[in-house]
């Protein structure tokens, strides 16, 4: 519900662009199923980004881009294990896309990488 509320607020704001960033496409599919009609539009490699609102994209598409607001819907220990260097890099890349605001949520235990 916290992710749903963050996405709703971001989608109704005209104060820049919010990106909901997930590591892989199957995580995007799970989020869309969980949020239903509240899910942001999934952007693929051919899609253009809007100036404001909220979009959903995978980390490979987010690399090199910056967003006013970033939402990480699941920074759990399962997706970002502390002993995995690649997971650490994925999390850093996701977090560093935000220029003004960052919201981090977790299903279960938050990754120890954020402690």
Give the model's pLDDT for residue 45.
Answer: 85
Dump pLDDT digits (tens) for 1-52.
999 999 999 988 888 999 999 999 999 999 999 999 999 999 988 878 998 9
Dump pLDDT digits (tens) for 93-109.
999 999 999 999 999 99
Contacting residues for 20 by C-beta, under 8 A, at least 6 apart: 7, 10, 31, 40, 54, 55, 56, 57, 70, 71, 72, 73
Dump pLDDT digits (tens) for 75-95.
999 999 999 999 999 999 999
Please return the burial class of 17, using the count of CB atoms within 10 Å of its CB with bins 0-12, 13-18 and 19+.
Answer: buried
The string of DSSP codes covering 22-82 is: ESSHHHHHHHHHHHGGGPPEEP-TTPPPPSSEEEEEEHHHHTT--EEEEEES--BTTTS-T
Domains annotated for the chain, with CATH where assigned, are 2-114 (3.40.50.300)
Model confidence at 65, pLDDT cuts 50, 70, 90, reads very high
Give the model's pLDDT for residue 15.
Answer: 82
Give the model's pLDDT for residue 46.
Answer: 86
């Amino acid at each position: 519900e916290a992710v749903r509320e963050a996405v709703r607020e971001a989608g109704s704001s005209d104060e820049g662009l919010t990106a909901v960033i997930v590591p892989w496409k199957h995580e995007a599919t799970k989020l869309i199923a969980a949020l239903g009609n509240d899910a942001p539009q999934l952007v693929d490699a051919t899609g253009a980004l809007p100036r404001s609102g909220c979009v959903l994209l995978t980390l490979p598409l987010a690399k090199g881009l910056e967003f006013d607001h970033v939402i990480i819907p699941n920074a759990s220990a399962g997706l970002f294990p502390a002993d995995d260097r690649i997971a650490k890099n994925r999390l850093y890349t996701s977090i560093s896309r935000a220029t003004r605001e960052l919201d981090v949520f977790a299903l279960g235990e938050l990754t120890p990488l954020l402690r």
